[in-house]
Amino acid sequence: MSRFKSQALNFSRNNTNNNNNKRTGVLLANLGTPAQATPSALRNYLREFLSDPRVVEIPRLLWLLILHGIILRSRPKKSAKLYQNIWTEQGSPLMVISRKQQAKVAEKLAETYGSTIPVELAMRYGQPSIAQALQTFQKNNIDNIIILPLYPQYSGPTTGSTFDAVIAEIKQWRWVPSLHFINGYHQNPLYIQALANSVAEHIKQQGKPDRLVISYHGMPQAFYDWGDPYADFCQQTSKLLVQQLEQNNTLTATDIVTCYQSRFGKAQWLTPYTENVLTQLPQDGHKNIAIISPAFSVDCLETLDEIEREYRKVYLAAGGEHYHYIAALNDNDDHIDALIDVISPYLP
């Protein structure tokens, strides 16, 4: 408690309520990654991730018994092998690319606004944590914090959970700074243009595919039925991307299919399932496809292993011939421009 009290005194002595005097910081937040591709590191990561009630919404006691009695005994070893497929000399691709995004956003903000605006990176699960990033702002007397979860399409298990973590830390502070929590950017024109650019660049290099598959991370159908708007936002992103591609004479609506990946467990999830779409396309004569996943701002396990490796096998086994994964927007310059555009309305 004493830590919070002393920081509150620093804020009150060094800052005023004048917006012109506010010191602004930007927090970029993503889902997270294990520290290493080992069973022990995965056990720690999965324990934190799967203990989040936003992620798994079944009776708490029952789920904790399943989690600690079954899942954390078997899944870490399997997951570690999957992470080993994508691990690099620099470490986790998600972390490596996220750091590049952080540096480029900071550089672009300084270039655009003529002053240094601190940019912190945080992970909802794992390190660096959201609490650590916010405490860094607190120590540096940042009193205007812009929080951008790097999930274009809002969902409770991702964006909503990030909000929970922010509030869990901030509610301990005696002095609360100005907070601007951005809950999504699925319709941002520069984000849509960046997606269209990545498709156009792929076609320039590889030619036009028979179909463009737009695959979003899935979620249980029950979440949508209970009011989570994620699926609607995904459909809106697809619609806008199709419009942009048609406007650029790149592809038409009939060339594109939207679906959902990463299904887990036996419950009904959002449909159509990506693996079912990939199995059906060759049977319909579409043997040359490209696949993109707009829900991921950074390449990670779900894109580099699930889409790039596992789904390739599914498609080729079903009779497909040419399978191309279009990378996430990562630290592409047009993606950074889109992130700056999302942040800029909240700068003083």
From residue 293, give the alpha-carbon distance in Å to each of 110, 133, 174, 217, 317.
30, 28, 41, 8, 21
User: How far is it, in rounded angstroms, from Cα 330 to Cα 97?
Assistant: 6
**What's the pLDDT at 168?**
97
What digits encode the pLDDT tens for the residues 148-202?
999 999 999 999 999 999 999 999 999 999 999 999 999 999 999 999 999 999 9
pLDDT at 19: 52
CB neighbours of 235 closer than 8 A, spacing ≥ 6?
A: 258
Reference 43, options 6, 82, 74; nearest CA is: 74
Domain boundaries, the chain: 39-86, 189-325
The predicted structure's pLDDT at residue 264: 85
Structure token digits, residue 298:
């950074």
How far apart are the two ends of the chain, measured CA to CA in Å?
A: 30
Q: Which residues of the chain have pLDDT under 70?
A: 1-20
Distance CA 167, CA 165 (A): 5
Q: Residue 16, SS3?
A: coil
Give the pTM.
Answer: 0.93
- Extract long-range pairs of 242-246: CB within 8 Å, 24+ residues apart: 244/192, 244/193, 244/195, 244/196, 245/196, 245/199, 245/200, 245/212
- Name the nearest CA neighbour of 218 among 230, 233, 236: 230
Domain 189-325 has CATH 3.40.50.1400: yes
Are the beta carbons of 261 and 314 closer than 8 angstroms? no
Q: What are phi and psi of 307, to 5 degrees?
A: -75, -50
> What pLDDT score does 170 carry?
97
Over residues 61-104, the pLDDT tens digits come to: 999 999 999 999 999 999 999 999 999 999 999 999 999 999 99
| CB atoms closer than 10 angstroms to residue 328 | 26
Q: Which of 295, 283, 276, 285 shows the shortest CA–CA distance to 237? A: 295
Give the per-residue pLDDT at 16. 45
pLDDT value, residue 114: 79
Whole-number Å distance between alpha carbons of 291 and 270: 18
What is the rounded distance in angstroms from the CA atom of residue 272 to the CA atom of residue 290? 17
pLDDT value at position 192?
A: 98
Q: Which DSSP string do the residues of 132-176 spell out, in sequence order?
A: HHHHHHHHTT--EEEEEES-SS--IIIIIHHHHHHHHHHTT-SS-
Task: Give Cα 182 to chain centroid, integer Å.
Answer: 13
Rounded CA-CA distance 249/237 in Å is 18
Total count of residues recorded for the chain: 348
Q: What is the model's pLDDT at position 291?
A: 98
Q: Give SS3 for 215.
A: strand
What is d(CA 128, CA 25) in angstroms, rounded to the nearest whole number? Answer: 16
CA distance 278 to 317: 10
User: What local confidence, expressed as pLDDT, does residue 8 receive?
Assistant: 47
Residue 22 is predicted with a pLDDT of: 80
